[in-house]
Chains A and B, each alone.
Chain A
């Protein structure tokens, strides 16, 4: 599913939406974080890239890779905010490169960095292994829908927001100020996942999930900055879910259901 861009001349060059820019292209300055595991200290490189009025950050990064520096490591797949692989920090704010339009950014140089609070493997590519390890032990990769395709949705179904909307991009963890100083904190996505399991257990062991969420590095470590919700591109609202999870934990401690 996930692809790393090949060097110029590879399959992706033929698909490059910015190749052979048409009339209307403009030049924009970029400042891109660079890091190679065997290449010395990290640094920022500057590039001038030709972009269209509707170009995204990912379009520009691919243009830079194809036309300026084939060694630039970027990661992406779907181009439509579905796969969650192109998360970066653009001008200090988390976003998916594929749907962050350059026209929506302030004028001037665009700074692109890898997500914070992740190990950087190369340039803008981070290692997501530790992110996956933060989730509760019972973390099924997919779950069958209880609703047949032909079924009419029951009234009030809006309450059943699908946590499966989470694309596990990691932007929430990057934006979290608590995670910036405490790598043992499981972070927003994992806690939102736990709350999602409470909302729709489908046979899950609720007690085990609550025990996990009640741990030293889980729900009570959140300091309610709500940056995870601001960063989330899928409207999962992790912070709000953490607050609901706390209520469930408090209720359990008080002997409630």
Chain B
């Protein structure tokens, strides 16, 4: 089958355009976080984005907290009294979860992206997650013991 002449293609395109605009149907950023009916790789992709946002937020929060040192010893000690409350220690565990997930999943992506075991990326993901869960449990017990 031969390709139609260019003039004919132009006529076809003009006829299409005359019918009105097409609909750009794209979910946008919600697609990053919509994990319904999606696979392990997408969950990892979504959680990686969430933890990245969380870690960036924490970075600025950390700098803000450190600025309390400018207020002197009493200001800092007052903050420490709050920071050692059980609720804040829970936030520490959440922070360590974010660090471990983001770091370990990043390592998985780097390995797979280098052509290392791309056919086994799910197994690699769950292996890293089990390792991360063990580290998180240890960190949580340590924090609980120091509280």
Number of interface residues of B (CB under 8 A): 34
* B contact residues around A138 at 8 Å (CB): none
Asked if residues B23 and A225 are in contact (CB atoms below 8 Å), the reply is no
Least Cβ–Cβ distance between B70 and chain A, in angstroms: 40
Q: Is the interface of A mostly helix, strand, loop or mixed?
A: loop
Residue B31 is within 8 A (CB to CB) of chain A in the complex: yes
- The yes or no answer to B54 lying at the interface (CB within 8 A) is no
Question: Is the C-beta of A143 less than 8 angstroms from some C-beta in chain B?
Answer: no
Residue interface mask B115-132, A partner, CB < 8 A = 1: 100110100000000000
- Assuming the contacts A37-B21, A177-B32, asked whether A224 and B27 have C-beta atoms less than 8 A apart, the reply is no
Give the docked Cα–Cα distance between A88 and B118 (Å). Answer: 27
Q: Which residues of A contact B (CB under 8 A)?
A: 35, 37-38, 42, 91-93, 113-114, 116-121, 127, 177, 179-181, 183, 222-227, 229-230, 237, 239-240, 243-244, 246-247, 250
**Most chain B CB inside 10 Å of its own CB: which residue of A114, A116, A127, A223:** A223
Question: In the complex, what distance in Å separates the CA atom of A247 from the CA atom of B30?
Answer: 30
Complexed CA–CA distance, A183 and B28 (Å): 10
Chain B residues with CB under 8 A of A247: 114-115
State how many angstroms separate the Cβ of A151 from the closest Cβ of chain B: 28
Task: Check if B23 sits within 8 Å of A120, measured CB to CB.
Answer: yes
Question: In the bound complex, what is the Cα–Cα distance between A35 and B31 (angstroms)?
Answer: 21
Chain B positions near chain A (C-beta within 8 angstroms): 16, 19-32, 34, 36-42, 44-46, 109, 112-115, 118-119, 121
- In the assembled complex, which residues on chain B have CB atoms less than 8 Å from the CB atom of A243? 112-115, 118
* Contact partners of A230 in chain B: CB under 8 A: 38-39, 41-42
B21 proximity list for chain A (CB < 8 A)? 37
Contact B119 A240 (CB under 8 A): yes
Q: Which residues on A sit within 8 Å (CB–CB) of B45?
A: 177, 223-225
Interchain nearest-CB distance for B111 vs A (Å): 9
Residue of B nearest to A225 (CB): B45
B22–A227 CB distance below 8 A: no
Residue of B19, B25, B36 near A38 (CB, 8 A) is: B19
Among A222, A227, A246, point to the contact of B115 (Cβ < 8 A).
Answer: A246
Q: Is there an interface contact between B41 and A116, defined as CB atoms closer than 8 Å? A: no
Known contacts A240-B118, A243-B115; is A177 also within 8 Å of B19 by CB? no
Q: Give complex CA distance A35, B19 in Å.
A: 12
Q: How far is B118's CA from A250's CA once the two chains are assembled, in angstroms?
A: 15
**Are A42 and B121 in contact, CB atoms less than 8 angstroms apart?**
no
Complexed CA–CA distance, A133 and B9 (Å)? 16
Decide: B23 and A42 in contact? CB cutoff 8 A: yes
Contact of B114 among A38, A177, A239, A246 (CB under 8 A): A246
CA distance A120 to B21 in the complex (A): 9
